[in-house]
Amino acid sequence: MKNNLLVIISLLFLAGWSGKAQTQNKIVVNANDGKYAISKHIYGHFSEHLGHGIYGGIWVGEDSPIPNTRGIRNDVTAALKALQIPNLRWPGGCFADEYHWQDGIGPRNKRPKMINTHWGGVVEDNSFGTHEFLDLCEQLGCEPYICGNVGSGTVEEMSKWIEYMTFDGESPMANLRKQNGREAPWKIKFFGVGNENWGCGGDMFADYYADTYRRFAVYCRNYGDNRLYKIAGGPNTSDYEWTETLMKKVGNKMNALSLHYYTVPKNWSDKGSATLFDEAEYFTTISKAAFMRELVEKHTAIMDKYDPQKRIALAPDEWGGWYNVEPGTNPGFLYQQNTLRDAILAAVTFDVFNQHCDRVKIANIAQMVNVLQSIILTDNEKMLLTPTYWAFDFYKVHQEATMLPLSIACAKYESQGKSLDAVSASASRDKNGKIHITLTNIDPNKPQSVSCDLLGVKAKNVSGRILSADKISDHNTFERPNLVAPKDFKDAKLANGNLSIALPAKSLVVLEITE
């Protein structure tokens, strides 16, 4: 009751505040009220056979002059390990539903070639297959998230793939794995039974996919102590009927339901430039990113009807900004630059996932390297980290930490007669007792003065880092790879249990508070 009274007093304070040069914002963090852990798998990634996402971005081959370990780029794996990447989704995406896994095993010079009909019509030589992907996951120390082929595949094909990877015994598939150089089975947790089955994964109706899922899922077997976490192909954006149908018909046979939503500033025929945009387009982009909150809440409400215990997770396993490709690049390769706007887009999305961590347990940005909202870009031997990379770096402190409820009353960022909350935030306490608060000022023009009450904390020290730039469109290039990069943040002060923060315009800040 005491904490609630303090929250009310704080909000009344803001309501009666008359304004200063910097806008005042009030946050109250309840450090004793944390109930749910923020799953590390919310911070997952996605790598599809698309453009240079795999070839050149991750896989260069063992004979490449680019430093590599068994054909996998050392610089990329080092950067990903620094993020504590928790899981990686592969091989698609739309590519998953035309991928036949047996084409990607055995001697590479004998693997059949295929046409990548979804992405650019290029030849796929299958040199990066099951063994290479799982080697990558072992190098990264992350969980594989494999998406099976429902659209053009068979139950038998999917069943045999799982047996090939996870069975430790005498069988044709286990023996084939050993013949191909892997004696022990792999541990596979996350397994997607199809992808976008309402579209590129089969153009199915919800009822048809629900029945198809039930059939395929029967043969996604658990071998030994390996336990599959089965993820059903979920809705496209706001298709709530799809969620209703899947929950009603197969809720007891899945562990999670996926959700796909992309932030497109304009429209699908002209999405907008990744770097050349005005403030009105920036506002629209962040407004559309914030729509993720409504999607999560409405899909969760449907799921709650059938699963009040929240046993089934909502898995937004494709999200991010989607813009026009960079001029002069293959339109089927989806290569786009990445600005400070994208870091803010990511932070706003993370805050939605964190605040709904009782239902959202796994998510994957699209995509990891050289495709869509990438965290890494490569050009032959060169590599750079994008602003979105640094958003993941700031937010990794929340992985497996206890989400701390917070209330926020803040100024508005206004444009075109519309408004958004100027400040977005998340708070958590990790296993060592440290409290972390991430804050984002989405307003590109005005700094925000934030007053934060820390209830249930005897805070003594605060330190932080900041990500910002001169312009919201600033981005890293191979000529200027560190134009948008973190710096130490000194404008957070502690006094009598209150934390005051001077939050610059268009900035992300991560704070660590110790007692």
Asked if omega into 316 is within 30° of 0 (cis), the reply is: no
Total residues found in the chain within this entry: 515
Query: Alpha-carbon distance 170 to 316, whole Å?
Result: 37
Query: Alpha-carbon distance 283 to 322, whole Å?
Result: 15
Angle at 281 between CA 276 and CA 287, to 5 degrees: 135
Query: Alpha-carbon distance 376 to 398, whole Å?
Result: 21
Q: What is the three-class DSSP state of 345?
A: helix
Asked if omega into 34 is within 30° of 0 (cis), the reply is: no
Q: What is the per-residue DSSP string for 224-273? A: TT---EEEE---BTT-HHHHHHHHHHHGGG-SEEEEEEEE-SS-SSS---
Verify whether residue 318 is a known catalytic residue.
yes
Cβ atoms of 505 and 446 within 8 Å: the answer is: yes
Query: Alpha-carbon distance 208 to 44, whole Å?
Result: 29
Q: Looking at 98, 132, 163, 196, which residue is catalytic?
A: 196
Residues contacting residue 463 through CB under 8 Å, at least 6 positions apart: 489, 492, 511, 512
Tokens 């798998």, residue?
Answer: 41
Angle at 20 between CA 18 and CA 21, to 5 degrees: 155
Identity of the amino acid at 339: T
Q: Looking at 170, 318, 326, 400, which residue is catalytic?
A: 318
Tell me the torsion sign for CA atoms 296, 299, 302, 303. negative
Verify whether residue 244 is a known catalytic residue.
no
Strand segments, DSSP code E, in 309-381 are 313-321, 376-379
Backbone angles phi, psi at 125, to 5 degrees: -90, 0
Closest CA to 118 of 51, 165, 73, 35: 51
Q: What is the per-residue DSSP string for 414-458? A: EETTEEEESEEEEEEE-TTS-EEEEEEE--SS--EEEEEEEET--
**CA distances, 14 to each of 23, 106, 422, 433, 503 (Å):** 10, 65, 14, 30, 17
Tokens found for residue 190: 């996350």
**CA distances, 269 to each of 264, 286, 328, 432 (Å):** 10, 20, 17, 49
> Residue 75 burial (CB < 10 Å; 0-12/13-18/19+)?
middle
> Residue 146 burial (CB < 10 Å; 0-12/13-18/19+)?
buried
Please list the active-site residues. Answer: 196, 318
